[in-house]
Amino acid sequence: MKVLVIVVNYYCEPLVYSFVNGVLAQRFTGELRVLIVDNNSTPSRVVRLSDLASDDRVEVLSAGLNLGYFGAARFALKHYLGSHKPPDWTILSNPDITFPNLSFFSLLADLYSTTQPALVVPTIENDHYGATGGLMSNRPSRARMTFYKVVFSNIATAMAYYALSYLKRRLIGLVAVVSMRSRQHSGPEEDPRVIYAPHGSFLIFGRRYFDAGGTLNHGAFLFGEEVFVAETARRLQVPIVYDPRLTVRHAGKATTSILRNRSIAQYVKESSAYLADDLFAES
C-alpha cells in the first residue's frame, strides 16, 4: 500500500517537525512519502525544514508564495504525480496533529484492504471541544448556507456567531468525551458510518475519490474545504465514512480571536459566499 502524506507549513516549523517525526515513527511496512509544502515566502524558512529531508521519504516543497490549504495540497499532489503512480491514500494534514497509535497507517491498510470509501474520517480528539468524527453528519440546507454567507459578511456578526458556536461546540464536545469514555468501559466502540463532511484538519482521501473524478480545486483561498469535499463526493456518489477505530489528536483551539485578523475574516467571508453561491445555488 502506498500512502502520501501532505502537510502544510505556515510559520509553524516546530509543529511540522513534530508532525513529520510522528509520521516517520509509524510502524508501517508499505510505501510512505511525506511532502512538506512551505507556504512562507522566505527561502530561509524552507532551509530550516531541510534537515527533515535527510530521510529519503521526506521532501520539502515551496512555490515561493502562500498557496492556501488546498492550493498547497494541489501543488504537492501534482509534484508527486509527476514521477509516481497515484497513491492508495492521500492524507492532507494540519501540522498540529499527533498519532496516539503508532500503527495508524497499518490499521488503515488492514481495515480497508478490500473496499475503499472516497474518504475515511478518523475520530479527532481535541481537549477544547472533545472528540469529533466529522464536521457534519448531515448535509446543510441552502437556507443555512445562505445564513452563513450573511453572518460572515460582517466582522461583528461573524465574531458574535463564533463566540456562540464555540460555546456550543465546547458543551457538545464535553458530552462526547463522557460518552466516548462510557463506551470504552461498557462495550464495543461505535460502528463506522457514512457521514456528509470530513473534519478539515486531517483528511484521508482514498484513491477512489480521485479515480471517480474528485479534485482539490476548491474555489476559495482558505476555509470551507470540508464542504467542498463533501459536495464533490456527493456529486460523484462516492461515500465518506467516519471510522472510530482510527484516532488522531488535534491540538488546535477554536477561538474568536482568529477573526480579529481582518485578512482571515475576509477569507471566511469569501469562502462562505463561494459555498452558498456556487455549491448550494440549486439545492
Domain ranges of the chain: 2-279
What's the full length of the chain, in residues? 283
pLDDT value at residue 40: 78
pLDDT value at residue 180: 45
The superfamily in CATH containing domain 2-279 is Spore Coat Polysaccharide Biosynthesis Protein SpsA; Chain A (3.90.550.10)
Check pLDDT > 80 for residue 281.
yes
pTM value is: 0.88
List the single range of 75-89, 119-133, 218-232 with lowest mean pLDDT.
119-133
pLDDT digits (tens, 9 = 90+) for 105-149: 999 999 999 999 999 999 998 866 556 655 688 999 999 999 889
List the single range of 141-145, 173-177, 270-274 with lowest mean pLDDT.
173-177
% of the chain exceeding 70 in pLDDT: 80
β-pairing verdict for 2-9 and 31-38: parallel
Question: Is 145 in contact with 271 (CB distance < 8 Å)?
Answer: no
**Residue 174's pLDDT band (cuts 50, 70, 90):** very low
pLDDT digits (tens, 9 = 90+) for 47-77: 667 778 789 999 999 888 899 999 999 999 9
Averaged pLDDT for residues 252-269: 66
pLDDT value at residue 189: 56
Check pLDDT > 90 for residue 257.
no
Residue 15, C-alpha cell as written in the block? 509543529
